[in-house]
Structure 1
Amino acid sequence: MPGRAPASLSRTLARALAPRFALLLLAVVAARVGRLAEHRLPASIGESVDDALGDVLAAALVAVLVLVVAPRTRALTAGLVAFGLCATVELLRLTPLPGSLAERWPALAPVLDPAFSAAGLLWSAVGAAVGVAAGVAVVRAVSRSTSRGRRAGGSHHT
C-alpha cells in the first residue's frame, strides 16, 4: 500500500496543476502574439488597428493571468477584474502619472503610454471577454483530458 500514496498524490497534483500550466502557456502565447503584432504588422495596416489589437491582447492576457492566480474564479468575475484593471490603466492616461512613471521606469513605457483612447476601453472589454473565453476553453479541455487519463490509467487499480 505505501507505493499507492505517492502515485495517487502525483496524479492529484497533476490534475490540480495541469489547468494552471495550460493557462500559463496561453498567457505566454497571448503575450508573444502581442509582441509579434507590435513589431511585425505592416505599416499599411495602420496605427489604429495596431492599437486595438494591442488593447485586446493586453486585456486577454490580464484575464488569463487572473484565472492563473485564482483558478476557481468565475468567468464573469475574471473578465470584470481584467477589464477593471485595463480600464484603470486607460483612465490613468488622462493624468500626468503615466508619463512621469514611464520617465522614471522606462520598462513601463509600453504599458503606460500617455495617450488616452476611449476606443481602448471598448477594446479592453473585448479582450477581457476573449481572454476569459479562451481561458475557460483551455481549462475545460485540460480537465477533460486529465479526467480521461485518470479513468484510463486508474481502471487497472482496484
Structure 2
Amino acid sequence: MSLSMRRTRLLMVSSAAGFAGAAYSIRAVLDGPVEQYSGAALSGAIVYTIAIFIWPPVSPAVAGGAAIAYCWFIEFAQLTPVPGAISQRSWFARQLLGAQFDSVDVAWYPVGVIPLVAAHWILRARMRSRTDPAPAASSSGV
C-alpha cells in the first residue's frame, strides 16, 4: 500500500472520529430538531469517510453517491421490523442501523455528504495541478 493511501486512510479514520464526536457532543448538549438533523447529516459524512477509507482512489461523485445510497438503504430498511429488533439488543447496532424510519433524515444525509464531495473535488484538483507539469510553451510564435 502506498504512503498516500495510508495517509488518506488515516485522515478518513480521524475524520470519522471527528464527525462522530461532533454528533455525540451535539446530542449531549442539544435536544430536538438540531440534534436530529445534525445527527443524520453527520452520519452521512461518516459513511462518506468510510467509502474513501475502503477505496481511496474512488472519485468524489462515486463515493458521495455510494454514501447517500447506503444511508437511504439503511433508512428505508427501518420500514421493516428487522433493524428495530436488532437495535433493541445492542447499543452499537442501534448506532449503525437506527430504530425507526424518519423521512426527514432522508433529506439530511446529502447535507452531510455534498460538502465533503465538493471539498474532495477541490483538494483532488489542487493535488493534480501540483503534480502535473506545466504545459509546454507554444512554438508557433503567436
TM-score band, normalised by the shorter chain?
0.7 to 0.9
Q: Is this contact kept in 1: 2:9–2:56, CA < 8 A?
A: no
* 1:15-94 map, 5 Å: 16-40=2-26, 42-43=29-30, 46-94=31-79
Q: Secondary structure at the match of 2:38?
A: helix
Alignment correspondent of 1:111: 96
- Deviation at residue 27 of structure 1 after TM alignment: 4.1
Check whether the contact 1:38–1:50 (CA below 8 A) recurs between aligned residues. no
Q: Are 2:109 and 1:128 aligned?
A: no
Gaps of 5+ in 2: 133-142
**Counterparts in 2 of 1:69 and 1:139: CA distance versus 1, 3 Å:** farther
Query: 1:62/1:137 Cα in 2 relative to 1: closer, same or farther (>3 Å)?
Result: farther
2:85 paired residue number: 100
Q: Tell me, yes or no, if the aligned pair for 1:93 and 1:115 is still in contact at 8 Å.
A: yes
Task: List structure 1 segments (4+ residues) > 3 angstroms apart after TM superposition.
Answer: 134-145
Residues 18 and 142 of structure 1: is their aligned pair in 2 closer, same or farther, counting only changes over 3 Å?
A: farther
Please tell me whether the aligned partners of residues 19 and 139 of structure 1 are also in contact (alpha carbons under 8 angstroms).
no
Q: For 1:111, what is the secondary structure of its paired residue?
A: helix
Q: Percent identity?
A: 24
For these two proteins, the number of residue pairs brought into alignment is: 131
The structure with higher relative contact order (CA 8 Å, sep 6+) is: 1
- Please state how far the C-alpha of 1:135 moved relative to its aligned partner: 3.4
Greater Cα offset, 86-95 or 17-26: 17-26
TM-score by length of 1: 0.66
Q: TM-score, normalised by structure 2?
A: 0.72
Q: Alignment RMSD, CA only? A: 2.8
